Structure 1
Amino acid sequence: MLNRKIKSLIVLTVVVCILIGTVTKVEADDGLKKGYTYNYDYWSDVLYSPDAYSTVGVYTSVELGLEQGFNNATGMYVRGDTLYICDTGNNRIVELQKVSKDTFELVRIIHMIKGEVAVKTLSAPTDVCASEDGYLYICDKGNGRILKLDDDLNYVMEFTKPTDATFDQTTAFLPNKLEVDGVGRVYCIADNVNKGMIKYDSDGTFAGFYGASEVTYDWTDYLWKKFATKAQRAAMESFVPTEYDNLYRDLEGFIFACTTNVTGAGLDAGTDSPIRRLNLLGKDILIENGNFNVIGDIYWGEAGGYKGPSLITDITALDNGIYFALDKVRGRIFGYDTQGHLLYAFGGNGNLDGYFKLPVAIEHMGKDLIVLDSKDSSFTVFTPTEYGSLIYKAIEEYDIGDYDASGTTWQQVKALNGNYDLAYVGIGRALMRQGNYKEAMTYFKLKWDTHNYSKAFKQYRKEWVEEHIGLMVVILIFLFVVPMLVGKIKKIKHEIDVAENIERLM
């Protein structure tokens, strides 16, 4: 009898172990427990989700057929299916073409310039831009110039240090990042320039500074400067605007700019803005209607030796308005919609595919993302998964006014990730556009979207009043008119009774 009990216990133990192993495997494979893709809910809790992007491949000099590997590559640009990489340490630009989903071919290596120009070689190029009219602009940092070349690499013109009183002539001109608009105006971020971006007209004329950020300082330091001696003031740090790190011109012609000159205290207080979207006047028009500001991670633990807030080093925007910010501290990518809602975050520091050692630039080719890793001497290509594609589809359907389809697609997203707040909000917005205000309020209430709930409630209240106006009039009549009539009748009857009584007495 005892042996039978022992045997039963052994069998039960084995079965439990098998079941635990199966559950563990399911949890590891379902895409929700990997800790790679995540978001934050209304209560600031981290919620892991299915991956919105998967890795297509990691490309080094070996995969690209380069005899010389990348050395401190710092810049990257995409035009159509062409990818330009600024191989800064090797004084060259590598031009590649995407020929299939996972294959890039070398087109040419740019390091020499043709035409009438004194210095024909590049020196530490840090950024490149291919304009819509076929010209190539290069931040030739080591030579202190921005070059404009035609498609055959013939010299056209150059943009040099502004000879203007507003520009410190004792400072070396070190162009670091650039963008070119549709009419050939150049926007340049230069080292040691804190007045904003340097703006040039298409003919090379200095047109002033663009997008200067507001001055930030500590008020105690300001008071101390007021009472300090001249020597003490000279020794103190000046109150100057922050510098930009990178820029990107989106489809609508607005310029996204990012800066790593932020602090944890400034981000908590909402005074520091790591990402801006600048209009033609250089004013920030970035919309931040999400539960949190557009700052990357909202928690800054010290795991793995990394501490402090996200430092956004580059940014890119898709044609549908969704933009991505690259954090060089923890190697993460943050995707935001046009309203400033965090769609998802993924990436990290490490040696596995989809992770980075020192990410410095991000670009997109269609909806695929490309991240340049300076320390790993490689770039990684990501493509949307089914989950990520459905999110894009739902947003795009809503933007073109197909609210029925958008609501259906958001339902598919919710089926893949029941914890995704934006799926509920998206369904609610689609229902609200369809006129189903009461049902929309239910979805907004589930995810504490007070802003949209108020809008839906306002419309629902208006609709309810219109539908019940007849009943309300009847009720008002009974509440006010009928009592008035009854009172009037009683008064008349009373007057008649009084008159009759008087007649009898007479």
Structure 2
Amino acid sequence: MKSRTLRIVSLWLAVAAAISAVLPLHRAAASELPYETYYKDGFGQLVHTQAAYIPAGIIGYNTAIAGQGSGSADSTGKLQLNQPKDLFIDQKDHVFIADTGNNRIVELDAQGAFIRQITVDESPLNKPSGVFVHPNGDIYIADTGNNRIVRLNAGGKLLKEYGRPDTDYIPASFKYDPVNLVVDKRGFLYVTSLGAFQGLIELDPDGQFVSFFGPNRVSFSVFDAFKRLVYTREMYQRELKKLPGAIANAAIDNQGFIYTVTKEVASDQIKKLNIAGLDQLPGKGDFSSVEPVRSYGEVLKHRAGDMNPQLNDITVDESGNMTVVDTVWNMISQYDQNGNLLFFWGGDAITATSKTGVVKTPAAIANDSKGNLYVLDNTNNLIQVLRPSEFGKLVHQANALTQEGKYEESEPIWEEVHRLNTQYTPALIGLAKAAYKRQDYERAAQLYSQAGVVGGYSDSFWQNRLIWFQNNFGLAMNFVLAAGILFLAWGKWSRKLLPAGGLGGKLRMDIPFAKKLGHVFTIARHPVDGFYGIRHEQKANLLSSLIILIAAAAAFGYMQAGTNFVFNPKVHVGIDLLPQMVQFFGLWFGWVVSNYLVSSLLRGEGRFRDVFYGSCYALFPIILIGIPVTYLSNALTLDESAIYHFLKLAAVIWVVLLAVWMVQGVHNYTFIESVFIILLSIFTLLIIVILIFLFVSLSYELVNFIKSIYQEVIIR
């Protein structure tokens, strides 16, 4: 027994020593990564995460040429790439590189060893920019310099050339410069032509034109609609044509979905197209309720005026995860099959010479069957190999199970991910979906709320509310019945117990201030007469007006900060009420001033204090409707959003109508004249805002000028 105990103790000591020896190495390796990895949710909140991928090596910098192939090379030399543009990894994990500057295709094995180079001796390549290997072994090359697609068999023998399609459906001005292509299982080709805004060129296996596939839409703004409305045909024809963005690259997955990336657009840069060319990504993300128009390609900090990400290539792994490279910010972003962000990372392009893991100019990206990423560096003429980290593997495994609907199986893995990084939102979402699946709706709602997923929270809340009603319906009905009986009894006996007019009416008669404050209900019932009473019968004073103004501002603030995040997702990240209050009071006071100035020039009878009082009382709907609607928002779901938005719209319309009736009653205008005065007042308010902006800007410039002169004098 003693010897057995000693053996067990010795074994544990050996294991502990091994762990202590290994862990510092892992920590050192993690700390030496040349980039940081991040996650960004639908609200733009940035979260630092563990590395999803770790540098695993470089191909091309010191890769020896170990054999000879088509177009042999010196076996003692090095693999010298020259401005490569594309790479592709086949089912055997062989790497095919479009070595554009050397007019060849290079094939490497799964370990990165050179196998052969393909130059097509019978019809030499000229600046090949894209390569694709079909599951049957055929090799397709986008031979850009020769304006053609070349099809070779697995041995590199020329089978067919696809030149410019001979069809009337392609305009004569169309420039056919194939730079990339994908081929589906039927043998249909989808060719990316340089600058072709019409979309991918779809060809059948014989090279006959089928159609343009998956084009981007032209963005159409309000200003464009205005120009179309007021411009003549000649003026509109002289306008520069507004064209959609041209597809930069494409990929295809095992299920036949075709993925495209576009550079010259600010949103929907990634598309997942089915066989009919319809995008499958819109509306499927976890944050689609918050961000219906999705923007892909992540950056750490994006300021106004900065260039948008320019996605150059995309690859899709066996789980449907999409990984894209950005040529402007040198970032790599990864999304799941529904477009939800998983990770993004990048390095300093200035120091990116041949540093492992850092890409200076990412030209292309591909992945192998093991989940490794291969990023082609066009400037350094090499390939960076990245392997999934343990954290990345956990996320991919859990997310794949979630996408397949296996929520219970994914839950323990998501729990481990959450333990490793409590701020990583996809783990919260995965756990929430698992809780919803097992009908733990309270926990699901809590997790969805913590993650900020509006749709999931709304569904969970609906289930919780349904259960509450089922359990408490009888009690609620009894309470309503009792309240109704008490109300009827009070209406019957109050006439006998209270003096004529009621206690409230007695108080209102005895306190003049209460009468002025209660005049707001007269305005609600008879607005024109009510505002006329403010002007000619002194039905309002400064104190009552200020009380209503302050109450309206408080109600407005409560609406901004108290609305459930289902209808106001900004509350998830916090609402800064100070700018909201400044805008509220600034616009309101600007309206008072502008309306008084305009009406005083156009025979308006109201004094400044009348406009001030009336404008305060016109804000009453914000109090009367805004507070109950805000409170009600915490009991509604997305399916009942029409009720919430209708009530908010009713409050806005009521305020607008009261403003019209205020101008009519205070200044003695007709209804049409009041509308005209209000439009002039709004225009005057805009002029005032512009003048204030110019004054502040010029003052800032003057201060800087004086400061620079002062510094110049001090220096001299």
Same fold (TM over 0.5): yes
- C-alpha distance in 2, partners of 1:198/1:238? 22
Structure 1 segments unaligned to the other structure (5+ residues) = 1-25, 114-118, 485-506
**How many Å apart are 1:448 and its aligned residue?**
2.2
Which residue, out of 278, 283, 291, partners 2:278?
Answer: 283
2:186 is the alignment partner of 1:183: yes
Change (3 A) 1:63 1:309: same
Which residue, out of 86, 89, 104, partners 2:98?
Answer: 86
What SS does structure 1 have at the residue aligned with 2:112? Answer: strand
User: Hey, which of these two has a bigger chunk of strand by percent?
Assistant: 1
- C-alpha distance in 1, partners of 2:140/2:186? 14
2:37 is the alignment partner of 1:40: no
What SS does structure 2 have at the residue aligned with 1:94? Answer: strand
**How many Å apart are 1:67 and its aligned residue?**
3.8
What SS does structure 2 have at the residue aligned with 1:410? Answer: helix
- C-alpha distance in 1, partners of 2:230/2:90? 49
What SS does structure 2 have at the residue aligned with 1:245? Answer: strand
Matching residue of 2:527: none
- C-alpha distance in 2, partners of 1:394/1:400? 10
The one-letter amino acid of 1:458's match is: W
For normalisation by structure 2, the TM-score amounts to 0.56
2:213 is the alignment partner of 1:210: yes
Matching residue of 2:333: 334
Which residue, out of 432, 446, 457, partners 1:453?
Answer: 457
- C-alpha distance in 2, partners of 1:31/1:420? 20
Which residue, out of 80, 83, 86, partners 1:72?
Answer: 83
Change (3 A) 1:313 1:192: closer
The one-letter amino acid of 1:51's match is: A
2:153 is the alignment partner of 1:141: no
Tell whether the 8 Å contact from 2:103 to 2:127 is kept in structure 1 after alignment. yes
Tell whether the 8 Å contact from 1:64 to 1:106 is kept in structure 2 after alignment. yes
**How many Å apart are 1:418 and its aligned residue?**
1.3
Change (3 A) 1:448 1:32: farther
**How many Å apart are 1:360 and its aligned residue?**
0.7
Q: Tell me the matched-pair count.
A: 434
- C-alpha distance in 1, partners of 2:156/2:34? 47
Matching residue of 2:432: 428
The one-letter amino acid of 1:122's match is: L
Change (3 A) 1:416 1:477: closer
- C-alpha distance in 1, partners of 2:54/2:244? 39
Tell whether the 8 Å contact from 2:64 to 2:79 is kept in structure 1 after alignment. no
String of CA shifts for 1:13-47, please: whole Å, max 9, x gaps. xxxxxxxxxxxxx9998769986101124542322
- C-alpha distance in 1, partners of 2:399/2:137? 32
Of all paired residues, the percent bearing the same amino acid is 27
- C-alpha distance in 1, partners of 2:56/2:330? 18
The one-letter amino acid of 1:325's match is: V
The one-letter amino acid of 2:185's match is: G
Which of structures 1 and 2 has the bigger CA Rg? 2
**How many Å apart are 1:53 and its aligned residue?**
0.7
User: Hey, which of these two has a bigger chunk of helix by percent?
Assistant: 2
Using the TM superposition, name which of 203-212 and 84-93 deviates more.
203-212
Tell whether the 8 Å contact from 2:98 to 2:106 is kept in structure 1 after alignment. yes
Structure 2 segments unaligned to the other structure (5+ residues) = 1-25, 66-76, 486-716
The one-letter amino acid of 1:50's match is: Q
- C-alpha distance in 1, partners of 2:256/2:443? 38
String of CA shifts for 1:397-451, please: whole Å, max 9, x gaps. 2234432231111110011111111111111111111111111112112222221
Which residue, out of 345, 350, 359, partners 1:356?
Answer: 359
Matching residue of 1:397: 401
Alignment of 1:98-497 (within 5 A): 98=110, 103-113=111-121, 120-216=123-219, 219=223, 223=228, 226-227=231-232, 233=237, 237-262=240-265, 267=266, 272-287=267-282, 288-290=285-287, 293-297=294-298, 300-301=301-302, 307-348=306-347, 349=349, 350-351=351-352, 352-366=355-369, 367-466=371-470, 468=471, 472-473=473-474, 476=477
- C-alpha distance in 2, partners of 1:444/1:328? 35
**How many Å apart are 1:463 and its aligned residue?**
3.8
**How many Å apart are 1:375 and its aligned residue?**
0.2
String of CA shifts for 1:93-148, please: whole Å, max 9, x gaps. 000111xxxx31111100025xxxxx521111111111122211111111111011
Tell whether the 8 Å contact from 2:60 to 2:79 is kept in structure 1 after alignment. no
Change (3 A) 1:145 1:453: same
- C-alpha distance in 2, partners of 1:67/1:359? 22
Using the TM superposition, name which of 123-132 and 342-351 deviates more.
342-351
Matching residue of 2:655: none
The one-letter amino acid of 1:180's match is: V
**How many Å apart are 1:161 and its aligned residue?**
0.5
The one-letter amino acid of 1:104's match is: G
- C-alpha distance in 2, partners of 1:212/1:301? 27
Change (3 A) 1:477 1:300: closer
Higher RCO by CA contacts (8 Å cutoff, separation 6 or greater) = 1
**How many Å apart are 1:185 and its aligned residue?**
0.1
**How many Å apart are 1:479 and its aligned residue?**
7.2
